[in-house]
Structure 1
Amino acid sequence: MIVTDLGSLTSPRVVGRPTRDGGQAEAARRILDVAAPMFYGQGVRAISADAVIEAARVTKATFYRHYPTKDDLVVAYLHDVSDAERRALQHWRSQHPRDPARVLERYARTVGTQACGPEFRGCPFLNAIAAHPDPTHPVRIAAEEHRAWLRSYATDLLTEMGVRDAGLVSVQLVMLRDGAMATGDDVQPGRVTQALLRAGAAVVRGA
């Protein structure tokens, strides 16, 4: 999970039912903006559509016009988080066009810092996967699609670095990322970051 304010770099995807000119409906975005911290903080299973409707102060008709089911809203939430992470990585890559190792380092440092933050509740994609064991469920598919993209992006960076078997190494690095997010509150953020950087460097050197 990467939380960053890079929304101005690219136009965000339209969520909910678009306006007549294809733009973003204000109500649909407001519903998602209200639901996102609820889903992340309490879990996608724990939050009902009625709870979001009440918190967003919209009618049921408005809610279901934009999100026919709660699952549609959860998928939109995961897409929003995915888009933010993609923008962050693409931004870092544009800042370091000839230094893919630096991009991986910045990602690792951000993950390490977030993993021990007071508002951290784990990886939203892993949380969604745990809540939806059915591999054909749309929420599960949305979460798996992002993780596949993350491995693919890491593979591209590793290939640019000249790492052998970059696909396998990308799997290893994502596993380390997942482990860092499950470290626990008793480890200081600096230690998590240091451990993640050292372990990742060791994996890359070993390849």
Structure 2
Amino acid sequence: MQPGPGAKNRVLVTADRLFYDEGIRTVGVDRLIAESSVTKATFYKHFGAKDNLVLEYIGRRRDEAKALADSISAAADGSLETLRGIRDSIVDDIQSDGFRGCPFINAAAEFADAAHPVRRIVVQHRDWYTETMVELFRGAKHPMSGDAADEFLLARDGAMVGGYEGDAIAATAALIRVTDRLFADCK
């Protein structure tokens, strides 16, 4: 996460770490303030309430995911290579130190109300991800791009959860096997 400098940045960086590592609802404002080394007045000046900080956190995670996909696409030679790059990025993420699952799946689990603004951001992110995968599979000439995108996402979600709660190596190996079968159908 690379927001702007200063006190707001310290709060955002601290929130990103704590919300991802420990969960959004378990981290209180007083702890965020203390670990960010800001005053209550500064916190409330920038965010007004924890809910606003949570929305900024999940929104920034969404923006980072989009920027990563754009970066992979820009460096790739075509849609199939972009798909492989995205898959490889997921594998690297799951096998990294401190991996705690998908921040969007985690946030959705904490905010059960589908009308909550956090859930709306999660759904928007999911819609974007699905549409991006459909377009990439279409560009890679998969005969059933929508189905392939759904299967890719299901495999990704399973690997994210399995990689956090179980064996990261086994979860990523399964993700690679499933996606390789999807990629083999591209022409």
Shared fold, TM over 0.5: yes
SS at match of 1:118: coil
Q: Does 1:40 align with 2:20?
A: yes
Q: Return the letter of the residue paired with 1:42.
A: E
Of 87, 94, 98, which residue of structure 2 is paired with 1:108? 87
Runs of 5+ unmatched residues, structure 1: 13-23
Aligned twin of 1:143: 122
Q: 2:7, 2:167 → 1: CA distance?
A: 41
Shift of residue 90, structure 1, vs aligned partner: 0.7
Query: Does the 8 Å contact 2:101/2:161 carry over to 1?
Result: yes
Query: Does the 8 Å contact 1:116/1:187 carry over to 2?
Result: no
Correspondence 1:126-165 to 2 at 5 A: 126-165=105-144
RMSD of aligned Cα (Å): 2.2
SS at match of 2:51: helix
Of 19, 37, 51, which residue of structure 1 is paired with 2:31? 51
SS at match of 1:44: coil
Shift of residue 187, structure 1, vs aligned partner: 3.0
Of 120, 124, 135, which residue of structure 1 is paired with 2:103? 124
Q: 1:51, 1:150 → 2: CA distance?
A: 33
Of 176, 181, 184, which residue of structure 2 is paired with 1:202? 181
Number of aligned pairs?
185
Runs of 5+ unmatched residues, structure 2: none
1:55-79 alpha-carbon deviations (Å, 9 max, x no partner): 1121222111211221111111112
Q: Return the letter of the residue paired with 1:176.
A: A
Percent sequence identity is 30
1:132-165 alpha-carbon deviations (Å, 9 max, x no partner): 0101111111122112111111111111112233
Q: Does 1:65 align with 2:51?
A: no
Q: 2:40, 2:74 → 1: CA distance?
A: 43
Q: 1:203, 1:162 → 2: CA distance?
A: 11
C-alpha distance 158-71 of structure 1, shift in aligned 2 (>3 A): same
Deviates more, 1:53-62 or 1:111-120: 111-120
User: Between Structure 1 and Structure 2, which shows a larger proportion of helix residues?
Assistant: 2
Q: 2:23, 2:148 → 1: CA distance?
A: 31
Deviates more, 1:59-68 or 1:128-137: 59-68
Query: Does the 8 Å contact 2:143/2:185 carry over to 1?
Result: no
Q: 1:46, 1:79 → 2: CA distance?
A: 19
Q: Return the letter of the residue paired with 1:178.
A: D
Q: Does 1:180 align with 2:172?
A: no
SS at match of 2:31: helix
Aligned twin of 1:21: none
Query: Does the 8 Å contact 2:72/2:82 carry over to 1?
Result: yes
Shift of residue 205, structure 1, vs aligned partner: 4.4
Q: 2:161, 2:84 → 1: CA distance?
A: 19
